[in-house]
Structure 1
Amino acid sequence: MSAAAIRAAMPPEPPADSPPAEKPPRCAMCRGRMEVTRREPGPNGSQRLTFLCPKCQFTKTKTIGDPMDAGRHRPRKGK
């Protein structure tokens, strides 16, 4: 199979400014589902998202796609 045929068979990549595929986080105060209220470009192609809880108005900011942040989180237990 040629390289052109392989590229044609692959699904198109989402645009760089499309929203992340993951669900918004839960609120740390009331455990409600938060909503994205602001999306800003960050350094090195990352995105800085601000979330707001509609129940208690708690806010959280998260950077997504930052290559320096990739190994920050520990793996889940049991994996």
Structure 2
Amino acid sequence: MLVPGRRYLASGLFVPRTSDWAVFRHPHEPGTIYIKRVREILDTGYIMEGTVSWASSSDDFGPVPKQYIIGKVFV
């Protein structure tokens, strides 16, 4: 789980895989950057999940297109 206030390294040189953390642009608000865990990777994009019950996820905003993925987060 990510800790608020802590700094993390993310890289676009590494493609996130299932269960990795990823930085991405929100599919409906491209100016907004999110960090979430990759639940599944489909042809239509990445299915992202929050780690707490109240967090937004792909259940709310749908799959994240691959071109919206900025990179993998190293924790």
Larger radius of gyration: 1
The structure that is strand-richer by fraction is 2
TM-score (structure 1 length as normaliser)? 0.31
Relative contact order (C-alpha < 8 Å, sep 6+): which is higher?
2
Query: Could you say which structure has the higher helix fraction?
Result: 1
TM-score (norm 2): 0.32
